[in-house]
Amino acid sequence: MASEIEDDDGRPIKEGSILVSARAKYLVHTLLGAGGFGAVFKVRDMQSGEDFAMKIEKKLEKRKHSKLKMEVAILKMVSNERENSHFVQIVDRAKKEKFFFLVMTLVGKSLDDLKKEQPEKVFSVGTGIGSAMQCLEAVEDLHKYGFIHRDLKPANYAIGTADKIRTVYILDFGIARKYLKDESTVKAPRVTVGFKGTIRFASLACHNNRELGPKDDVESWLYLLVDLIQISGLPWRRLSDRNAVKKVKEECRGDRRGELLQDLECKEELSTIMEYIDNLSYSDKIDYNFIYDTLKLAAKICKVDLEDPYDWEVPKKPAGQ
């Protein structure tokens, strides 16, 4: 499959194309995803034979903010945050006449794809809570550096390959935003802000065109957790209209309280987390340890061991067995 991006000679970049940086030559393999301004390919370093992911962005004069520049800036900052980092490593990058590219560690399937492969289209509670904890650690690290993600959802997290199969990675910082002015001062919120992100996982503040802060990432993260483990899904999963979704999210804090977490044995613990998040405001710091501890309690109530193999580590039984 070809992307809509052309190389400097005007040929579409596709399987078999060769792209060169100052330090390596890359053979383009498969297209992993494509959007309006760019694409992500699996590529091979022609000298070492190693596979990587390459994100390419078209150079456009009129675009004020390059998504790729933001990704590079963030990945450079956070790369060594913890031993099992939740951020992919930058391997190489280059600026060409018509496009930029970033070469990074290749990760595996997204949590969204992996969940859809399960018989009930959701993860077991142990896998859901365990992977969601990692998703939150990634967000905690990002917040530490003064950035918010603004588009957290299962499709923006992926698992590692080989010995990193138990590690969850956060992807796509294209609409991330700096919320700290300096180490300890939060930027003054703008009066009104256009909707950004994904309707299903957007926080209420986002629906209300308010400035988003760290707590809005955590609200989206909570919707992500419910999406990963609740068989009946999020109550607004069938709606696509932004206002209709907002209405159900609001009702889930009122008359329809209970519906958001209805099928879950650990509903009380998750409801405690939701209440905690709902009481935070734009500039508040997040008590991540409180959330991790409540998640551990939720795992205990559900009698699951977070150290057990994740659903994607367990070989699937052939049909009929």
Ligand X SMILES: Nc1ncnc2c1ncn2[C@@H]1O[C@H](COP(=O)(O)OP(=O)(O)OP(=O)(O)O)[C@@H](O)[C@H]1O
Interface positions with ligand X (CB under 6 A): 32-33, 35, 38, 40, 53, 88, 104-107, 110, 158, 171-172, 174
CB-CB contact of 91 with 54 (8 Å) = no
Closest distance between ligand X and the C-beta of residue 51, in Å?
A: 9
CB-CB contact of 121 with 112 (8 Å) = no
Closest distance between ligand X and the C-beta of residue 40, in Å?
A: 3
Is 255 assigned a catalytic role? Answer: no
Check whether 249 is labelled as a binding-site residue: no
State which residue has the least CB distance to ligand X: 33
| Catalytic entry in 151, 216, 227, 311 | 151
Please say which residue, 107 or 270, places its beta carbon nearer to ligand X: 107
Please say which residue, 173 or 264, places its beta carbon nearer to ligand X: 173
Closest distance between ligand X and the C-beta of residue 92, in Å?
A: 13
Per-position b or e across 49-74, b if 16+ CB within 10 A of its CB: eeebbbbbbbeeeeeeebbbebbbbb
The position carrying tokens 């008590």 is 287
Q: To the nearest 10°, the Cα dihedral for 265, 228, 124, 112?
A: 170
Please say which residue, 89 or 262, places its beta carbon nearer to ligand X: 89
Closest distance between ligand X and the C-beta of residue 109, in Å?
A: 8
Please, which residues have CB within 8 angstroms of residue 241's CB and are 6 or more apart in sequence?
Answer: none
Q: Which two tokens stand for residue 13?
A: 């970049």
Strands 177-178 and 147-148: antiparallel
Please say which residue, 112 or 250, places its beta carbon nearer to ligand X: 112
User: What are the two backbone dihedrals, phi and then psi, of residue 285, each rounded to the nearest 5 degrees?
Assistant: -80, 150
Residues annotated in a binding site? 55
Q: Annotated active-site positions, please? A: 151
Residues annotated in a binding site for ATP? 55
